[in-house]
Amino acid sequence: MTGADKVFAGEIPALYDRCLGPLLFEPYARDLAGRLAGFQGRLLETAAGTGIVTRVLARTLPADVAIVATDLSQPMLDRAMDGLDTPRVTWRQADALSLPFDDASFDGVVCQFGAMFFPDKPAGFAEARRVLQPGGRFLFSVWDRLEENDITAVVGAAIAAAFPDDPPGFLARAPHGYHDKDRIGDDLHAAGFHRIAIETVTLRSQAASAAEPATGFCKGTPLRHEIEARDASRLDEVTDHVARAIAQRFGSGRVDGKIQAHVITATA
């Protein structure tokens, strides 16, 4: 993990939300919300990003559930707030490894595809446990191996081919770099959790065209920083190259591929 892996700023939040939200994150947001059916109390979301999960939770959870949505990146939160204006959600910039909340102040904590970016996973998990009421649930998801995610794997291969002498490693290193279930379990145990369930969930990922995932990955994630660090003048060229690779693999029309993640529930 590098410092640039966590920089979501500039036009990245808008492209991330528009191009990758429906493609990758909304299917698992619906899955996560379903697992919280009947939840009561106060709910904390960490690494909320552009509010993709937050929007689903606000639509589906009982009206008396109070949601506090946090993220390390203020630009990501700004995008999230633009997309969801409701008094039931409180937005707050916060580091998941140092939460500004009292002990035992929430009945549940959720984090979709954020734990991979924690520089110290057990510390982040310990913070989640600290703010949970006894018996409260910590529900989070992480991506499985890059090779188990069809479209993302094609993107990774195409990017490597565009820079054969110095291939960017963001995808394998960051979003897909924390997939070992034994390690996840060990890190949760180190944080003080003892009732842990890890489920591998396979869903489908769809986009209207190859251009959407190409733009989302190349211009709407920190992968952009790696491309620009090698040759900023090639950003559009590389994005087009990735789009052609996706179209070659999935066809020139609608794109459909497998996505796979681990969904973890740990009880305080």
Interval 87-123: pLDDT, tens: 999 999 999 999 999 999 999 999 999 999 999 999 9
| Per-residue DSSP letter, 36 | T
Segment 176-222, tens digit of pLDDT:
999 999 999 999 999 999 899 999 999 999 999 999 999 999 999 99
Could you tell me how far CA 117 lies from the centroid of its own chain? 9
- The rounded distance, in Å, linking the Cα atoms of 69 and 47 is 8
Region 117-138 average pLDDT: 97
- The rounded distance, in Å, linking the Cα atoms of 259 and 261 is 7
Domain boundaries, the chain: 3-267
Going by C-alpha positions, the residue among 87, 85, 78 that lies closest to residue 17 is 78
Contact 38, 151 (CB under 8 A): no
- The rounded distance, in Å, linking the Cα atoms of 109 and 236 is 39
User: Maximum Cα–Cα distance for the chain, whole Å?
Assistant: 55
- The rounded distance, in Å, linking the Cα atoms of 265 and 77 is 25
Task: Give pTM, 2 decimals.
Answer: 0.94
Contact 266, 198 (CB under 8 A): no
Classify 3-267 by CATH class. alpha beta
